[in-house]
Chains A and B, each alone.
Chain A
Amino acid sequence: MTPLQGCLLVSSLLFAIGLAGAVTRRNAILALVGIELMLNAANLNFIAFWRYGAHPEALSGMMIVIFSIAIAAAEAAVGLALIIAIYRHYRTTNLDQMKDLKG
């Protein structure tokens, strides 16, 4: 197993953990945390391919990761604001109890 494959395996396991959490947890906040873990797994892939790729001096993988971190931060802010607004309406963060689109 080459080092690059080790990185890719770590990131795919991280992605699987995030996916399992996002799909199975009842709590909306933890579903969001799972999505964050999946985004981070993708970032690890970008960094690994940048480091082991043919032209690391172009810094393209690093740039994509910087932009992706910025987008993930925006997504976390909006997602948590949505969760707080929904909690104010339903008094719960349980995803199974949020059944109505129109409250």
Chain B
Amino acid sequence: MSPAFIVIAIVTLFAAAAAMSLRNLVHCALSLVVALAGLAALYLALDAQFVGFVQILVYVGAVAILIVFAVLLTRSDTTPNQTVLSPGWGIGIAISAVVFATLGWATLNSPGLPKEMLQAPETTVKNIGDLLMTRYVLPLEVIGLLLTAALIGAVIIAMKEGPQKANSEEQQLKAEKPSSPPLQGGAR
């Protein structure tokens, strides 16, 4: 393992731990950005350039901004003295430690894992585009449909109040219309 890989991995893991343990939500979001950028660097170290840049574009660019916006939109002025962790956090930590121990044991003890890197394959954008348009064209279409549905759904869920308020606004408009002055007069 190259020293660069080890350094990037340590930075990524520390940033991820900070994102999960800091008190201030904005600090958590910023450490998450560092962790995701570190993951992109790991992808670059593993010769997956396209995925690394997609990671930066999608996660560091979009998802991090989305999380910061959610933090800002849901900022509550309730007691800051509340504990950050939910009750029974010891069990959660224990479960994740057991999961890590199991995964690590399985990783270190499984025979037949490949030892050395093969020659780096040619991963140009042209190759990836060719594959996306030939062998993976059906998943690509499904992903497009899923993204459209998810984004429309997200907008509808987060829309203010829902249909009742829109109806009441329409009714208000209808009620106001007779009494209001003609439009051109109002515009002046």
Contacts and interface: CB of A to CB of B under 8 A. Distances in A.
B151 A77 contact: yes
B117 A20 contact: no
A44 B42 contact: yes
A35 to B, nearest CB: 11
A72 B51 CA distance: 14
Interface in A46-84: 47-48, 50-54, 56-57, 59, 62-63, 65-67, 69-78, 80-84
Interface residues of A, number: 74
B67 A69 contact: no
B contacts with A: majority SS: helix
A contacts with B: majority SS: helix
Contacts of B85: 24-26
Contacts of B69: 80
B13 A62 contact: no
B20 A18 contact: yes
Interface in B51-76: 51, 54-55, 58-59, 62-63, 66-67, 69-71, 73-74, 76
A2 to B, nearest CB: 5
A78 B152 CA distance: 9
Contact of A59 (B28, B59, B100, B123): B123
Interface string A20-39: 11011111011011101100
Contact of B121 (A17, A59, A96): A59
Given A13-B13, A56-B121, A27 B147 contact: no
23 contacts: A4-B114, A5-B108, A5-B113, A6-B9, A9-B107, A12-B100, A14-B13, A17-B96, A20-B92, A20-B96, A23-B96, A25-B86, A26-B83, A29-B71, A47-B51, A51-B117, A57-B121, A67-B139, A73-B58, A77-B66, A80-B70, A82-B157, A94-B82
Given A30-B20, A43-B55, 5 more contacts: A14-B13, A44-B39, A47-B42, A59-B131, A93-B74
